[in-house]
Structure 1
Amino acid sequence: MLQIMYISSAANCAPIDVAQILTVSRRNNERDGVTGFLYADGRRFLQVLEGPAEAVERAFARIGGDTRHRAVVTLSRREIAAREFGDWAMAHRMPGSDSDALLAQIAERLETASPNVRATFEGFAKIRRAA
């Protein structure tokens, strides 16, 4: 199985419609056997995709070609023996939301993730919380 972690920014100044992205992503990922975790704060995306190598490659290619993303940067790409994320999940930070609750939600969803993946998401969330 392949796991890719990336970060990207929204391509324009308009807020990201995370609900619409989630709906389409869940459909595509279920169809293709891809799981992972997405953190979107309205301006940036941090995501892990995992599953069969060809399916993950196709999903990542779709993301790279999506005009809503810019500056897509691969943070890690590795083979994994087993899924670290059992099903598709997403954390979403809304302005004025309870940051402590969000950090707790992220920690819970990352319990089985590798230390590097967990540290990347937790660090990103803490930085965004401070912003």
Structure 2
Amino acid sequence: MRQLLYISTATPGTTIDTVGILAASLRNNRREGVTGLLWTDDRRFLQVLEGEDAAVQGVFDRIKADPRHRAIVVLHDRTIAVREFGAWEMARRGPSDTSDAFDTKMRHHLAAASPAVRGTFEGLIAARRAA
């Protein structure tokens, strides 16, 4: 099984419809057997994808071809024995969410993640919080 972690930035001038992205991702990823976690603040995307190699590659190829993304950087790409994310989730801080509530939600999603994956997500979250 493969786990791929990447970060990207929204293309300037692009309107990000997170509800639409979530609906399409849920549908496509279920069909492909891909799970993971997507964190977004509507400007940056940090996502981990897990599943069979060909399925993860197919999802990632669609992401790379999506004009809403730019500066896509793979942070790690490795073989795993067991999924760290058993269900697809999208974490997004809503306008009424407090920083603490959002951080608690993310810690819950990341509970079973490897230290490297958890650290990457927590680092971005901390950086965005400090900004």
TM-score tier, shorter chain, comes to: over 0.9
Question: 2:14, 2:68 within 8 Å by CA — same for their partners in 1?
Answer: no
What's the secondary structure of 1:83's corresponding residue?
coil
Residue 50 of structure 1 corresponds to 50
1:13 partner letter: G
Deviations 1:48-97 (A, max 9, x none): 00001000000000000000000000000000000000000111023563
Report the count of equivalent residues: 131
> Following superposition of structure 1 onto structure 2, how do residues 1-131 of structure 1 map, counting pairs within 5 Å?
1-95=1-95, 97-131=97-131
1:59 partner letter: V
Deviations 1:77-123 (A, max 9, x none): 00000000000011102356311111111111111100000000011
Question: 1:3, 1:79 within 8 Å by CA — same for their partners in 2?
Answer: yes
Q: Normalising by the residue count of structure 2, what TM-score does the alignment of the two structures yield? A: 0.96
Q: Give the fraction of aligned pairs with identical amino acids, expressed as a percent.
A: 54
State the superposition RMSD in angstroms. 1.1
Separation in structure 2 between the aligned mates of residue 39 and residue 8 of structure 1, nearest angstrom? 11
Q: Normalising by the residue count of structure 1, what TM-score does the alignment of the two structures yield? A: 0.96
Structure 2 spans left out of the alignment, 5+ residues: none
Separation in structure 2 between the aligned mates of residue 20 and residue 128 of structure 1, nearest angstrom? 23
Regions of 4+ moved over 6 Å: none
